[in-house]
């Protein structure tokens, strides 16, 4: 019912910026929240940020003040603006949609996932 496609990843030097995009299609009006997760090699997929239908946002502590999640309803797109990037931000970043009223920070809270986009931050 919801299809998600991420884009905008790439290679950037530490301190630089990237903006990821997540284009959504299908029954997006059924989604209570959209989230960004990331997964580094040999690490579990971890929560990065989420935005609720009412535009309230939540961030993991390690990205607060550096990353911003936003949404453009006209374009049906969610963004993740990443500033002051660090090598430890290197990961595959995934966009996800949740149909649940109590969606949170766990991967199991989300029902649809994009294919991921690689972000590499060099030192």
Burial class (CB in 10 A: 0-12, 13-18, 19+), 16: middle
Percent of the chain residues past pLDDT 90, beyond the cut: 88
The mean of the pLDDT values for the chain is 95
pLDDT greater at residue 97 or residue 74 = 97
> Which residues, at least 6 apart from 77, have a Cβ–Cβ distance to it below 8 Å?
21, 22, 23, 24, 71
In sign, the C-alpha dihedral spanning 57, 12, 45, 98 is positive
Mean pLDDT along residues 56-80? 96
What pLDDT is stored for residue 112 in this prediction?
Answer: 96
**Which tens digit of pLDDT belongs to each residue from 1-47?**
899 999 999 999 999 999 999 999 987 777 899 999 999 999 999 99
What pLDDT is stored for residue 96 in this prediction?
Answer: 97
């Amino acid at each position: 019912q919801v299809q998600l496609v991420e884009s905008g990843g790439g290679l950037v030097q530490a301190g630089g910026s990237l903006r990821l995009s997540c284009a959504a299609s299908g029954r997006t009006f059924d989604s209570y929240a959209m989230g960004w997760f990331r997964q580094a090699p040999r690490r579990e997929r971890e929560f990065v940020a989420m935005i609720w239908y009412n535009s309230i946002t939540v961030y993991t502590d390690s990205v607060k003040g550096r990353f911003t999640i936003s949404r453009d309803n006209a374009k049906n797109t969610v963004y993740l603006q990443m500033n002051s990037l660090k090598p430890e931000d290197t990961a595959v970043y995934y966009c996800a949609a949740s149909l649940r009223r109590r969606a949170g920070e766990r991967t199991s809270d989300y029902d649809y996932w994009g294919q991921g986009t690689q972000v590499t931050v060099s030192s």
